[in-house]
Amino acid sequence: MTAIRVAVVDDQRLFASGMQMLVEAQDDMTCVGTAGDGAAALDLCAAERPDVLLLDLRMPVMSGIEAMTRLGSTGDDRPRVVALTTIRRDDAVVAALRAGAAAFLTKDALPDVVTATIRDVHEGRPAPTEAEALDLLRAQGGVPEWTGRRDEVLDVLSAREREVFLLVAKGLSNAEIAESVFLSEATVKSHVRSVLQKLGLRNRIQVVITAHERGLVRS
């Protein structure tokens, strides 16, 4: 089994060291390094190519949001990001989700939640905080005035992929989607992967953002 390569970026050294110890204690994970600001995070990611990046949002030199934006321009091999925050209902969390974070964690999260989130994000599954992330996004409200068809973005998808897209956008897990449309969970996972690839999206959260911005699902 190949260990999940995790990097931790936080300007609080004690917290970063604690996260490093937690990761290293897992049989299926390894910490490839830590950094204390966004600029150092970019160097760390370039050197070590982690699978999952635990990234604080408020740091000196360069914020986590800016670091995410720069990582987004580096290609498809960029890590999957878990945003770290001290405040749950934070505009920075929403900004991170919109910038491509796959999930978020508060810094008082239980160790089991942290490790579960890393595994779920790595495998493309809904993270433990996904329901709360969806609530944060929906609370933003407002749908832009689109000049074209709102569902035009879905034209590249097959009928089944459209169905899966809309169910993911409503916050259903792969298991719930499988039960709803009478498919195996493995088949649903394959459809989700295809949807993300065809639409150029990074993760399930971006499916939700795409759907809500276009008014394709109800809040």
CATH of 4-138, one of 3.50.50.60, 3.40.30.10, 3.20.20.70, 3.40.50.2300: 3.40.50.2300
Task: Give the pLDDT score at 143.
Answer: 46
Which pLDDT value is given to residue 76? 55
pLDDT at 141 over 60: no
**Mean pLDDT of all residues in 7-24:** 95
Q: What is the pLDDT of residue 3?
A: 94
Residue 38 above 50 pLDDT? Answer: yes
Tell me: pLDDT of 147 over 70.
Answer: no
- How far is C-alpha 209 from the geometric centre of its chain's CA atoms? 12
Kindly tell me the sign of the dihedral angle through the C-alpha atoms of 86, 88, 90, 95. positive
Amino acid at 137: L
* pTM given for the model: 0.77
pLDDT of residue 29: 97
The CATH T-level fold of domain 152-213 is: Arc Repressor Mutant, subunit A (1.10.10)
Residues 6+ apart with CB under 8 A from 189: 124, 174
